Chain A
């Protein structure tokens, strides 16, 4: 339960960072989506029901900080968590490069879903003119920030406490079962 609230607190902190601090230094296309990284990590490391509830809440938080309608990110993040859960059995999630690959896939899937929803339901097809040119920059920033966050997580893992099932942490694998 502590982990669940930690994810939510991190989500709110990331949303505040994305709306108040990043805009001071980065243009919209170069701003990382830290909540997406959290969602991917949530999908990998928490159990399904907890991941779904936290994912829905994080989606609602992001919806409140961005765009005009509640529900878009709720749905997009739900699908990303479900896809991540479906892939979890097939992938070696202990490997950080694999996690970075997942971040790249997650970024592409998120843009694809947002484009699909906005074109189909909101009839704002012109959003594709904003989304498509931004994808390479988004990919790059998300990967850079994911690498930094994983590095920090590895560095400070001993302070956070080792948990079984925590994805992508080599030091956890070394200590696991020791």
Chain B
């Protein structure tokens, strides 16, 4: 027996280890909303680095735009150029602040319509994999954020919080394959479930004879209790009906441009209405 065990030591070890990791994964799938100690430690440790990297990249991009084109200036114009540079830099900064102000105003106006308290947050990181769609924001349990809170941008729904650390939180985007949001076609009130497909969305369980057309706006239905009712999710792109089958195949483009997401709002309070 011992000889047999020794002979197949590697295979046995491999099988046991794979089984243990599969069980660990299945267990964590059930505990989806819980943030483990390990994950909290990694998020806590990485958040300052990610904020720093974000800041450094912003400064480098700013320097590239404002300073590097002046490298070859003539000596006699140096003073004048420097003055010009300072002014230019100030203008650039003002423009940046104006743009940010505009974005935040839109975001605030959007959140004001909801009549629910919301907390602004900065996007400081993205997902390290290519198949899942999550972002990291710079607010966490210290700002009283919890798992499951909805996150929005001025254009519509971004996603919901799935992991929280003291100063950061991970947000599952609506374009992630594991995200499912109860939705309505705004024009016809047809119900469906919006699932993520990487860069776009698909609408499941939309009945075959329901009136859905390209260009229709998809909004949250408020069912499920995560997202408030009526928030924009996406715009219908294609509608396909098979010869047979109960449902039609509908794809949509999200209203939020996730590749240029900088500021978001976390809806923290209950519906006042």
A contact residues vs B (CB 8 Å cutoff): 12, 15-16, 18-21, 23-24, 27-29, 31, 33, 35, 48, 52, 56, 59-75, 78-79, 82, 85, 114, 117-118, 121-122, 124, 126-127, 129-131, 134, 138
Interface residue B214 (Cβ < 8 Å from any Cβ of A): no
A92 smallest CB distance to B (angstroms): 21
Contact with A along B42-58 (1 / 0, CB 8 A): 11001001100110010
Could you tell me which residues of chain B, from 137 to 190, have a CB within 8 Å of some CB in chain A? 162-163, 172, 176-178
Residues of B within 8 A of A15 (CB): 46, 128
8 contacts between A and B (CB under 8 A): A20-B124, A28-B126, A63-B39, A66-B127, A67-B178, A72-B25, A75-B22, A129-B198
Complex CA gap A21/B53 in Å reads 7
Beyond A66-B134, A67-B134, A130-B198, whether A74 also contacts B21 by CB under 8 A is yes
B contact residues vs A (CB 8 Å cutoff): 10, 14, 17-18, 21-22, 24-29, 32, 36, 38-39, 42-43, 46, 49-50, 53-54, 57, 124-134, 136, 162-163, 172, 176-178, 195-198, 202, 259
Residues of B within 8 A of A126 (CB): 177, 195-197, 202
Q: Are A68 and B162 touching (Cβ within 8 A)?
A: yes
Q: Are B32 and A138 touching (Cβ within 8 A)?
A: no
Complex CA gap A34/B138 in Å reads 25
- A64 touches which one: B27, B32, B42, B259 (CB < 8 A)? B42
Complex CA gap A59/B18 in Å reads 13
Q: Are B130 and A134 touching (Cβ within 8 A)?
A: yes
